[in-house]
Amino acid sequence: MSYPPPPPAMSSSLPPLRGKGMLVTGTVFFVLGLVAIVLGIVMTANALASLSDDVGTAQATPTTITRTLDGGKTYAVYAADGVTVQVSDIEVTGDAGSVSVSATTVDGNVDVSGTNYTEVATFEPAETGSYDVTVSTDGATVAVAPSLTSAAKSLIWLIAVVAGGLMAFLGVIFLIIGAVQRSGSKKRQRAAMGGQPY
């Protein structure tokens, strides 16, 4: 009497599953990248919206604009195109006295609802408080808002968008590598158990 052959012996040591580390790393990179992208976009949009809103509250000159300003932050007087505003026509005073006003060193402008505003002068209050910005020029339209330099510091969040995009891209690469490694490991395990890899 013949007997069927015994089943193949199970391997005592199966090849380990590989790729888990890459899959975990890829997932972490991808999620953190997406978070950085979203956060960077939101913060950059808020910074641009804040500057546009501030410049949008413009007044015809001669005028005195009263604003609560943050100490140590650089502010600017913006003037709409059409009438030139001289630095000598601008005075800034607060509870502690007058604040030094300087000609801008930045060649830049802001477009608000189709009107172009150019930064003409900057000043930096020493303390947080209420300040009067007086512009004696006739016939101009001016506004007080954070300087373009200060606004540019807020745009540092653009770096987060770029870095987030790079992290997300690397995350996808790690996920692909991890998936390939995991698939290959499973095939080797099936082969070691006597199965046919597929």
Average pLDDT value for residue range 177-184: 83
Contacts by 4-9 with C-beta closer than 8 Å and gap 24+? 7/194, 8/194
Strands (E), 17-112: 59-60, 63-69, 75-80, 90-94, 97-99, 101-103, 109-112
**Annotated domain spans of the chain:** 55-150
Q: What is the pLDDT of residue 158?
A: 75
pLDDT at 12 over 70: no
Strands (E), 17-73: 59-60, 63-69
Report pLDDT digits (tens) over 37-63: 888 888 777 766 666 666 657 899 999
More confidently predicted of 23 and 77: 77
User: Are 72 and 153 in contact, with CB atoms under 8 Å apart?
Assistant: no
